[in-house]
Amino acid sequence: MIPDDIVTKKDLEDFKKELFTLLATINSPQPQNQPQWLKNVDIKKMLDISTGTLQNLRLTGSLPFSKIGRIYYYKLQDIEQMLNAFEKKSLKRKL
């Protein structure tokens, strides 16, 4: 009688296939669930800022935007770049 806890070569091969499949899905680029263009309300929630602060970011040119009618639109990529720029300025001040 063979004990149930013995691992066979076939078990190891199956495990290897499953592991590589899992790693491939983890390492593959995931589709973005985030929309490319965001509105004021999205930005204010994301950054936890007020309407005035958002307006100030627009007026100083810190955050690029597009305006259609009365609605402002922002690219997620531009927000990430702005945050990176502020982070670099903050690090320089600390040094």
Q: In the chain, what are the domain boundaries?
A: 37-94
Instruction: Specify the range with the lowest mean pLDDT, choosing from 13-17, 67-71, 80-84.
Output: 13-17
Extract the tokens encoding 19: 């592991």
Rank 17-21, 71-75, 77-81, 86-90 by mean pLDDT and report only the highest. Answer: 71-75
Extract the tokens encoding 65: 């935007």
**Starting at the edge strand that comes first in sequence, how are the strands of the sheet with 37-39 ordered?**
37-39, 71-75, 66-68
Question: Per 3-state DSSP, what percentage of the chain is helix, strand, and coil (rounded to 5)?
Answer: 60, 10, 30
pTM to 2 decimal places: 0.58
Contact 22, 59 (CB under 8 A): no
Mean pLDDT of 69-90: 88
Residue labelled with tokens 């100030």: 56
Residues in contact with 14: Cβ distance below 8 Å, sequence separation at least 6, in sequence order: none
pLDDT at 30 over 70: no
